Amino acid sequence: MAKNISYEEAIASVLVQVEAGGVRTLPLPEVTGEILGVDVVASCDVPPFPRATMDGYAVRWTGSETEGAYGVVGTIVPGQGWEGSPGDRGCVRIMTGAAVPPAFDTVIPVEDSVSRVAGEVNFTAAARRGDNIARQGEDARRGELLIPRGSLLRTRHVPTLAAEGLWDVPVYERPSVAVIATGGELREPWEDAPPPCIHNTNAPFLMASLRSAGFTGARYLGIVADESEPLLEKIRAGLESDFLLITGGVSMGDGDLVPDCLTACGVRKILHKVSMKPGKPLFVGRSERGSMVVGFPGNPVAVMVHFSMFVQPLLLKATGAREHLPKPVLLPLAQEASNRSGRKKFSLGRIVSRAGRSFVQELVSQGSGDFISARLAEGVFEIPLGVSRIPAGESVRFYPAWGDFFGETGAPETMGDSGDGPDA
């Protein structure tokens, strides 16, 4: 494969080698964020019977409902049937959600009624045949596909699953994941990091991101120095998982030993460089037992972008997801954005509101090592390969990788150059 390929070519070349695993079951309240393992088909019409949509009176429509009193011959509440006979001008009191008996075809709301004599009711507004009744099967017909296999389950799916009587829900098993951080300069967050050492930011980000995506069993194997023997030992341990994520050591410097060590451990290289910014040095390979290995560059913003735009789609597909590629939204830019890298660029951005409209605001950044600026990012927007400038107001593809509709607001209105210097 070419040494330096596009983002689209890179992710396509790896996705074809990823397959889903088996299926397990989880209790219904625990399925949010999981991938559905079966097609969910309507076992009956929905609703399964004509259902009152308002509190009121069920009548047989004649067009003369306001002309004289009706006799109230019964009451129907949800979960109970009624088998009486209404007679010529009989009606029944009915509650929202109750089954409408075959003798009736219209429900008149209680607010359009008045009772002057016990056991009788008069209607004060004309009705139309079929008013305030949800017809049997109007939401779904028996045999209709409701939720396809491979769907990412959200809370919005839970009522449908519950209505189908699914408590033990079949979902795909998740692949196992291991994380290694490389670099003799790294110290863990709970350790002192006197200069020239720095704290390890990449592994905590990856572990938190994996947990947020539902991979709560991911293993962190720690920091390993840029030395062959310790690195080989860590890699062998990591290859026991289905996915191995390694940060640092994948560029072309003297201390970048990861590619050679992976080869020594039987990992076949799929790609090594991707024409994108940040994160041109990206190693992807596969072990003899089928483990997928992703080697990130060491710069934190590159790790953040690659996890969201590259690794998460692989994990989604490995978990059986039908749709696994990142989904952008089109939004106008708040200010001009540039790209001097000669590669596809994913710039840090967040959504801002101005005069009732939403825009993507690019965040000022000093490059792919600037995780301080990245703390304000809700996602990235794309500047395509070959495009050096996008003017303010033009629509861009924004990927809300880290956004939260209910999160914090009020980020600084930072304008200016976003930093197009070299990155790793």
Q: What is the pLDDT of residue 406?
A: 53
On whether both 243 and 149 belong to a single domain, the answer is: no
pLDDT tens-digit map of 211-251? 999 999 999 999 999 999 999 999 999 999 999 999 998 87
On whether both 294 and 355 belong to a single domain, the answer is: no
Q: How far apart are CA 77 and CA 55, in angstroms?
A: 10
On whether both 14 and 28 belong to a single domain, the answer is: no
Q: How far apart are CA 324 and CA 172, in angstroms?
A: 14
pLDDT tens-digit map of 7-61? 999 999 999 999 999 999 999 999 999 999 999 999 999 999 999 999 999 999 9
On whether both 220 and 306 belong to a single domain, the answer is: yes
The verdict on residue 250 lying in a domain is yes
Q: How far apart are CA 136 and CA 26, in angstroms?
A: 31
CATH code of the domain covering residue 164: 3.90.105.10
Q: What is the pLDDT of residue 413?
A: 45
| DSSP structural state of residue 30 | G
The region that residue 275 occupies, defined by phi over 0 for left and psi between -120 and 50 for alpha, beta otherwise, is beta
Residues with Cβ within 8 Å of residue 222, at least 6 apart in sequence = 180, 181, 234
CATH code of the domain covering residue 56: 2.170.190.11
Last residue of a domain, one of 266, 295, 318: 318
Instruction: Name the pLDDT band for 423 (thresholds 50, 70, 90).
Output: very low
pLDDT tens-digit map of 155-213? 999 999 999 999 999 999 999 999 999 999 999 999 999 999 999 999 999 999 999 99
The amino acid at residue 8 is E
Q: What is the pLDDT of residue 4?
A: 78
Of 21, 349, 365, the residue nearest 175 (C-alpha): 21
On whether both 190 and 300 belong to a single domain, the answer is: yes
Query: Which parts of 120-183 are beta strand (E)?
Result: 120-123, 133-134, 145-147, 168-172, 177-182
SS3 content of the chain, % helix, strand, coil (to 5): 20, 30, 50
Q: How far apart are CA 265 and CA 311, in angstroms?
A: 21
On whether both 178 and 313 belong to a single domain, the answer is: yes
Of 292, 295, 298, 297, the residue nearest 315 (C-alpha): 292
Total domain count for the chain?
A: 4
Which range marks the domain in which residue 374 is found?
A: 329-399
Our measurement of the distance from residue 188's CA atom to the centroid of its chain's CA atoms, rounded to an integer in Å, reads: 30
Q: How far apart are CA 176 and CA 353, in angstroms?
A: 40
Q: Measure CA of the first residue to CA of the last residue in the chain; give whole Å.
A: 21
Instruction: Name the pLDDT band for 71 (thresholds 50, 70, 90).
Output: very high
Residues with Cβ within 8 Å of residue 346, at least 6 apart in sequence = 276, 277, 278, 305, 309, 380, 381, 382, 383, 399
Predicted confidence (pLDDT) at residue 403 exceeds the cutoff of 80: no
By the 8 A CB rule, do 32 and 332 touch?
A: no
On whether both 97 and 130 belong to a single domain, the answer is: yes
